[in-house]
Amino acid sequence: MGSRHNHKRSFIITMTVVFLASCSGDSTPSDPSIPTLLAPANNEPCLDGSSVNDSQSSVNFSWTQATDAVTYDVEVEQLLLNTKSTYPATTNSLDVTLNKAVPYRWKVIANGEPDTTPSESDSWKFYLAGNGAVNYAPFPPELLTPRSASTISVADGVIPLSWTCSDIEGDITSFEVYLDTTDASSVATVVTYLGATTEIELEAEPGNTYYWKVIAIDADENKASSGVYSFITQ
């Protein structure tokens, strides 16, 4: 009799543990899914902005709703000044007032319940149309290697440099590459545009701090600068 009671008690305890473990697993919140950007379109002029004044337009940003997302952060980077602003949103659409005739990059971060990991969309670039603008400068080149503040080795007296660049109209013709040990004000070479990513080698000496930048030039002589990176050679 006592054996049957003990067996029954053990069974009840086991079932209780399994039930509690099951409930605990069901209550764990899920990370939000990755949002997909919709508009403004990637590598396109944004013509849909609503003009606020002569220098600014209101731009509608939209993206797909992320599963298990509670809020969103829309990160907008002004590419000429390399400044970033973050705008909170509770739905998958947001209007932001921006300066006209300026290139931007944007992405969306989906935030879930506490103790979950936010998800991040791809980054898209667009050019906000200016008043009567019919031609656009290239997007500022993005320097890939050497990264800023990095240390690289000189091999056979040269170092590798690489960058990527795009243009709404696809009419980039060349790049001016600046490299020196002071302020990246000296043109080291001019490179003909061959594709979205460019790789070259330039002469350098070990034990120096170098500064470099790239300026993209299109068929209408519009220019866009990458900004200056520095690196150390060894």
Residue 18 pLDDT greater than 50, yes or no: no
Q: If you average pLDDT over residues 125-145, what whole number do you get?
A: 88
Residue 209 pLDDT greater than 80, yes or no: yes
Nearest Cα neighbor of 132 from 51, 35, 17, 38 is: 51
Q: Which two tokens mark 124? A: 């898209």
Nearest Cα neighbor of 73 from 58, 57, 60, 90 is: 90
Share of the chain above pLDDT 70, in %: 88
The CATH number of domain 142-233, selected from 2.60.40.10, 1.10.287.10, 2.40.50.140, 2.102.10.10: 2.60.40.10
Q: What is the pLDDT of residue 49?
A: 84
Sole residue written with tokens 């900004």: 227
Q: What is the pLDDT of residue 232?
A: 98
Q: Which fold has domain 37-128?
A: Immunoglobulin-like (2.60.40)
Judge whether 92 and 111 are in contact, CB under 8 Å.
Answer: no
Beta bridge partners of 128: 46, 102
Question: What does the alpha-carbon distance between residue 15 and residue 169 come to, in Å, rounded to a whole number?
Answer: 67
- Strand order from edge to edge, sheet including 158-164: 142-145, 158-164, 197-203
pLDDT for 36-87, tens place per residue?
999 999 999 998 789 999 999 999 999 999 999 999 999 999 999 999 999 9
Residue 11 pLDDT greater than 80, yes or no: no
Residue 147 pLDDT greater than 50, yes or no: yes
* 3-class DSSP state of 11: helix
Where in the chain are all domains bearing CATH 2.60.40.10?
Answer: 37-128, 142-233
Judge whether 188 and 65 are in contact, CB under 8 Å.
Answer: no
Share of the chain above pLDDT 90, in %: 81
Residue 112 pLDDT greater than 50, yes or no: yes
pLDDT for 181-190, tens place per residue?
999 999 999 9
pTM to 2 decimals?
0.78
Judge whether 129 and 101 are in contact, CB under 8 Å.
Answer: yes
